[in-house]
């Protein structure tokens, strides 16, 4: 299968994703297209890395329940966003390299994203990265509250919907079906993500296809070594039993340099 990855990071120069390797640059993605089997990449760096300086320890999610930390670096943020958008304009061609952002909500379930930026991005992905609470029940509540809040935003894809919750509990059919039903009802794509393998990914793909959902495959690249993670995607499709031609593949609307 030929693969596009709609969710990927960079860690070079301006460090728009602090979690990504320093040698992972937009040029790496351009070169990777030439080498195949990739057909397209979207660069989707982290919104919080544009809001909080790296030396203020923004990860993991100290800002989630302390939003002051998110909003107190105003000049830094404005400068970063301008630089980020200019960089996307330099590299994105709307054919093989697309530009976007990985966004989320804070502990008030408020979007961490300036909606006026939507039209400047090809791909907007919404993620859950933090589930507060001491009990599994609380974490499940935070999971669904964040899914619902993300679906209120103009996102294209819900990224790795079970990555965080799966750290605390088995993702049973009830949780998986309810999550997919909500994403499907919103008409938003669900992501198969290779960065952190999830043992129920084939089941998720099968359930998404049976609901007629759009599926976005991603390697969520943080390190150059992940460039071969199409193997994981191939395996998920194979294990799911779904026919390739039955998968409704995500395709972004070109907005950058359109």
Residue 40 to residues 8, 33, 100, 124, 148: CA-CA distances in angstroms? Answer: 11, 7, 13, 16, 29
Interstrand relation of 97-103 and 157-158 (parallel, antiparallel or unpaired): unpaired
**Per-residue x/- marks for Zn ion, 149-188, CB under 5 A?**
----------------------------------------
- From the list 57-65, 100-108, 136-144, 165-173, the region that binds Zn ion by CB under 5 A is 100-108
Quick one: 218 exposed, middle or buried, by C-beta within 10 A (0-12, 13-18, 19+)? Answer: buried
Contact call for residue 104 and Zn ion (CB under 5 A): no
**Nearer of residues 106 and 220 to Zn ion, judged by Cβ:** 220
Q: Is 127 in the site for Zn ion (CB under 5 A)?
A: yes
Give the Cα-Cα-Cα angle 220, 223, 225 (nearest 5 degrees): 105
Under a CB-based contact definition with an 8 Å cutoff, are residues 133 and 139 in contact? Answer: yes
Helix (H, G, I), strand (E, B) or coil at 204: helix
Q: Of all residues in this chain, which one has the CB nearest to Zn ion in the complex?
A: 127
Nearer to Zn ion, 242 or 252 (CB): 252
How does strand 189-193 pair with strand 157-158? parallel
Report in angstroms how near the CB of residue 212 gets to Zn ion at its nearest. 25
Say whether residue 191 binds Zn ion (CB under 5 A). no
Considering only the stretches 80-88, 94-102, 196-204, 227-235, report the one whose residues sit in contact with Zn ion under the rule CB under 5 A.
94-102
Binding segment (CB under 5 A) for Zn ion, from list 83-91, 103-111, 204-212, 217-225: 217-225
In Å, how far are 19, 74, 172, 228 from 128, measured between CA atoms?
16, 24, 18, 25
- 220: contact with Zn ion by CB under 5 A: yes
Least distance between Zn ion and beta carbon 183 (Å): 16
Token digits of residue 53: 């300086």
The residues that touch Zn ion, with contacts defined as CB under 5 A, are: 102, 127, 220
């Amino acid at each position: 299968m030929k693969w596009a990855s709609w969710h990927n990071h960079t860690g070079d120069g301006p460090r728009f994703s602090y979690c990504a390797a320093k040698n992972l640059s937009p040029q790496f993605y351009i070169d990777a297209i030439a080498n195949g089997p990739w057909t397209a990449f979207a660069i989707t760096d982290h919104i919080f890395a544009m809001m909080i300086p790296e030396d203020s320890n923004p990860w993991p999610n100290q800002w989630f329940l302390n939003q002051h930390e998110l909003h107190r670096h105003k000049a830094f943020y404005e400068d970063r966003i301008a630089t980020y958008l200019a960089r996307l304009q330099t590299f994105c061609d709307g054919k093989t390299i697309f530009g976007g952002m990985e966004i989320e909500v804070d502990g008030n379930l408020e979007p961490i994203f300036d909606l006026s930026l939507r039209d400047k991005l090809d791909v907007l992905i919404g993620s859950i990265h933090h589930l507060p609470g001491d009990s599994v029940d609380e974490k499940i509540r935070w999971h669904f509250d964040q899914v619902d809040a993300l679906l209120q935003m103009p996102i294209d894809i819900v990224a790795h919907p079970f990555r965080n919750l799966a750290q605390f509990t088995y993702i049973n059919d009830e949780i998986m079906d309810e999550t997919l039903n909500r994403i499907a009802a919103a008409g938003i794509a669900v992501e198969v993500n290779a960065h952190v393998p999830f043992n129920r990914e084939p089941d998720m793909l099968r359930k998404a296809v049976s609901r007629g959902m759009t599926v976005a495959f991603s390697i969520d690249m943080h390190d150059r070594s992940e460039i071969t993670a199409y193997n994981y995607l191939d395996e998920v499709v194979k294990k799911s039993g779904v026919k390739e031609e039955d998968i409704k593949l995500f395709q972004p609307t070109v907005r950058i340099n359109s």
